[in-house]
Structure 1
Amino acid sequence: MTIRHISRRGAIQFLGAAGLAAMTPLEALLAQTSAQGGMTFLGIGDWGRGGRNHQSDVAHQMARVADRLNPRFILSVGDNFYENGVTSITDPAWQHSFERVYDAPSLQGPWRVTLGNHDYHGNVQAQIDYSAHSKRWHLPSHWYDFSERAPDGTTAQFFVLDTSPMIERYYEDGARAVKVGDQRAKVPVQLAWLDRGLAASTADWKIVIGHHPVYTGKAEGGYRAKASAEHRHGGNPELIDMIDPLIRKHGVALYLNGHDHDLQHVIHGDTHYVCTGAGSLTDTHCYIGDSDFCSLQSGFVTCNLNRHRLSVTYVDYRGRHLHVVDIPPVHSSVV
């Protein structure tokens, strides 16, 4: 499979300096992260396939990076188990797709988990309950937040959403496939929680995580069929209506998602929308739209934040660094 990159805006910095180019990919990432200081975390989504479709290869590269960078935690942005989630806390998929794939010592730290639509094909409560049976699996509820402090004193607050109940097309069959029916009435509660939490946050960085993209190169029609040329610019209309106004109002610098099986970057306003949905099987086409970058390589992202910037590095299953994005802090518009 060939790499599909798209890069347009001068604000996006690719690892191209002569000194870094002479290094191996891992050495380059270490040099960059060491110079930045701050706190590191990893992001991966759409992964649980029993090690197949480069899932094990991605896990190996994650372990190499984590062994050297010691990330504070790993963010899973959903679709944790294909095709149909898990049935219980003893489902064999826990071993085949999680425990025995991400088994390196460097990957035993906290996994902060998001729910995806394929997780709703199965028993969502079992994924929540597994938190009590695992030292590293953290999914306390359908949506939640947590805060971290970097070594330089920088603070970050992360808001993990449950976006599947917000997607209207999942109700078209009575919510029998993606079983979100009992969550529909809770969507306004979740949105009110997000609004209050973002408004009250005093963190230097506010980061929102959801399985589904708000903005993406893929048009809404592209979720059912290949997007036409006239509808290249896309996203989820429901999330654009529900989530994006809160993101803009409260100064969220980064929205991290999966669902689209690629690695992608989109900027709207002051917010950067980073897709890391390439944890195993990837799509066959990069829906470019107004993306700055899109790759079909299986992989993950490494994020490092300090007081001055949040740097996102896209890494593929061979350990190659495909792209780097430097994100400046954003200030809330609420006065």
Structure 2
Amino acid sequence: MNLKRRQFLFLSSLGAIGTGFLGWMLNHQNSQSADVSDSTTVIAANPPKKDLLLRFVSVADTGTGAKGQYAVAGAMNFYHKQNPYDLVVLAGDNIYNNGEIEKISAVFERPYQALLKQGVKFQACLGNHDIRTENGEPQLKYVGFNMNGRRYYTFRRGTVQFFALDTNSNADWENQLTWLEKELSRSNAAWKVVYGHHPIYSSGQYGSNPDFIKTLTPLFQKYGVQLYINGHEHNYERTRAIDGTTYLICGAGAGNRPVGRSQWTEYSTSDLSFAAYEVYADRIEVNAIATNNRVFDKGIIQLKLA
């Protein structure tokens, strides 16, 4: 066989392999969600909506100070310019690898400098990496995380009440659960949003947490929690409403890992990203935004009437 003949066969085989790989990729992407058509939507400036009550974003597993974090932070900046917001739910693993507060400039203040200068407030909770140094105490006291020394706490923005949890294994679960039920029961907010670092329902590396399903979801159902936000899984996943609660993972804030699907998955992807929320009287509109400033998932959380 001459050289040209061998080159032809070699190049032909590469073409076949490439075609097969492309087909696999397309099938894999299509399997991630029936909403794949949303991937063409680019964030644009929207005129102020008279009925918009609150806009906020969420992101988690951010604190690397590396390229991925800056890419997501850049997308958050771009979205802010188009659609201003002043609240970020920061769902844990704020400082890698061991929660060292001396890294705060590199992994928080510099990446989010543009947002912080414009008065955007970050409301953090502790992740498993954060408690490796002094059980997270330095982060509880750090003014930029707005935890005010508390491992779990609540705050309100208009018709939305947020409940931040310490979901780590060494958390004071007995007192925390008592506190959570008390605060949920006394809340008259139309919208109740709970967030913590660890997942409850997940199709990622760690999977769903049976203990949390047993202890937390009955409270969510009893007191009408419409949304639970978390990280830990380095991916994005949004569930269908499960007993009235949507579970949203936004842990691809600096790095990513593969994610699958479950019967309750509405959309999942490993793309670096954050989530944005627009709150109205009767619904919350969710947009998941990648580092190319494109919306790859849209969802609506309807107000559950008593």
**TM bucket by the smaller chain?**
0.7 to 0.9
CA pair 299-239 structure 1, distance change in 2 beyond 3 A: same
Partner of 1:104: helix, strand, or coil?
helix
Question: Paired residues, what number?
Answer: 274
Shift of 1:51: 2.6
Gaps (5+ residues) in structure 2?
A: 1-24
| Distance across 1 between alignment mates of 2:249 and 2:48 | 21
Instruction: Give yes or no for the alignment of 1:299 onto 2:273.
Output: yes
Q: How does 1:106-117 map to 2 (within 5 A)?
A: 108-117=119-128
Partner residue in 2 for 1:169: none
TM-score, normalised relative to structure 2: 0.83
Q: Which of 126, 131, 138 is residue 146 of structure 2 equivalent to?
A: 138
Partner of 1:164: helix, strand, or coil?
coil
| Distance across 2 between alignment mates of 1:269 and 1:13 | 25
CA pair 192-32 structure 1, distance change in 2 beyond 3 A: farther
Gaps (5+ residues) in structure 1?
A: 150-154, 166-179, 224-233
| Distance across 2 between alignment mates of 1:26 and 1:35 | 20
Partner residue in 2 for 1:253: 226
| Distance across 2 between alignment mates of 1:13 and 1:37 | 26
2:238, 2:248 within 8 Å by CA — same for their partners in 1?
A: yes
1:161, 1:210 within 8 Å by CA — same for their partners in 2?
A: yes
Instruction: Give yes or no for the alignment of 1:125 onto 2:137.
Output: yes
**1:87-110 CA distances to partner (integer Å, 9 max, x unpaired)?**
x4xx1x111111111111466421
| Distance across 2 between alignment mates of 1:35 and 1:311 | 15
**1:49-86 CA distances to partner (integer Å, 9 max, x unpaired)?**
1133x110110110111123221311100011111111
Shift of 1:266: 1.2
CA pair 77-4 structure 1, distance change in 2 beyond 3 A: farther
| Distance across 2 between alignment mates of 1:200 and 1:311 | 26
TM-score, normalised relative to structure 1: 0.76
| Distance across 2 between alignment mates of 1:122 and 1:14 | 44
Q: Which of 70, 84, 91 is residue 77 of structure 1 equivalent to?
A: 91
Relative to total residues, which structure has the larger helix share, 1 or 2? 2
| Distance across 1 between alignment mates of 2:130 and 2:29 | 28
Q: Percent identity?
A: 28
2:46, 2:83 within 8 Å by CA — same for their partners in 1?
A: no
Instruction: Give yes or no for the alignment of 1:244 onto 2:211.
Output: no
Shift of 1:238: 1.4
Shift of 1:32: 8.7
Q: CA RMSD in A?
A: 2.2
Shift of 1:36: 6.0
Partner residue in 1 for 2:283: 309
Partner residue in 1 for 2:8: none
Instruction: Give yes or no for the alignment of 1:209 onto 2:209.
Output: no
**1:13-54 CA distances to partner (integer Å, 9 max, x unpaired)?**
9648xxxx6xx7121xx43974862210010000111133x1
Instruction: Give yes or no for the alignment of 1:50 onto 2:65.
Output: yes
| Distance across 2 between alignment mates of 1:243 and 1:59 | 31
2:64, 2:107 within 8 Å by CA — same for their partners in 1?
A: yes
Shift of 1:114: 1.0
CA pair 278-37 structure 1, distance change in 2 beyond 3 A: same
| Distance across 1 between alignment mates of 2:229 and 2:293 | 21
Partner residue in 2 for 1:26: 43
